[in-house]
Amino acid sequence: MLAGMTSLAPAPQALSVPERARRWPALAAAAWAGTFCAVAGGAVLVAIATGGSAGENAVVLLAIGLRVATVVMALAAVQAWGRLVPAWLLLAGLWGAAATQLAYPVAETLVKGLILGGLVDPIDKGISNMSAEGWFNFAGTWLIWGVPGLLFTLAALDHGRQVSARGRSVALGIIGGIVLLGGLGMAIG
């Protein structure tokens, strides 16, 4: 009865063709972490030029080195040369970078929420500092660690859609990132 009329139903799409990954989260994560490296590296150079030593800045140099590694991982997720890295390893690295960078801002957010809710008493230092300085540091923590952590999460999710190795790599990355963060915390003191 409707011969000659076209169907209004959407055309079937091939499900076997993987969706192209978004590039912006990985590129934004690389740019954000790279900016940190440039600013922190400049601060170390100024400190050394004004009489400091590289040893006195060892923690900052270590942080810069680790951030450079995350920049390389983020870029590897969206560049052709990134195919040289095993997909499972890159996925684990992206999740590790996300977990490592999100752990502290999320923990501080939870502690501040518990304090504001009256469930725990602040000790006026560290993440429970509720002074203006504590809130300034809270904002800085989210700016320096939380934002790139969220960008790395998006990059990891996008990369995970492109590769077949998922569950173990995600778990390995998250656990490895948290263990790395704990080890760095113990090394710093």
Asked if 112 and 163 count as a contact pair (C-beta separation under 8 A), the reply is: no
Q: What is the mean pLDDT of the chain?
A: 84
Indicate the domain borders of the chain.
24-188
The whole-number average pLDDT for the span 68-72 is 95
Tokens of 8: 């209004």
For the chain, what percent of residues have pLDDT higher than 90? Answer: 44
129-156 burial by CB neighbour count: b if 16+ within 10 A, else e?
beeeebeeebeebbebbbbbbbbbbbbb
Tell me: the pLDDT tens digits for 76-135?
999 999 899 998 999 999 999 999 999 989 988 998 899 889 898 887 678 888 888 888
- 121 backbone φψ class: left, alpha, beta (φ>0; ψ -120 to 50): beta
Residue written as tokens 């760095």? 184
What 3-state DSSP class applies to 48? Answer: helix
Give the pLDDT confidence score for residue 20 in this predicted structure: 61
The whole-number average pLDDT for the span 135-156 is 93
CB atoms within 10 A of CB 1: 3
How many helices (H) and strands (E) in the chain?
Answer: 6, 0
Work out the end-to-end distance of the chain between its first and last CA atoms, rounded to an integer number of angstroms. Answer: 80
Question: With a threshold of 0.85, does the pTM exceed it?
Answer: no
Cα-based angle 22, 176, 28 (whole degrees, multiple of 5): 25
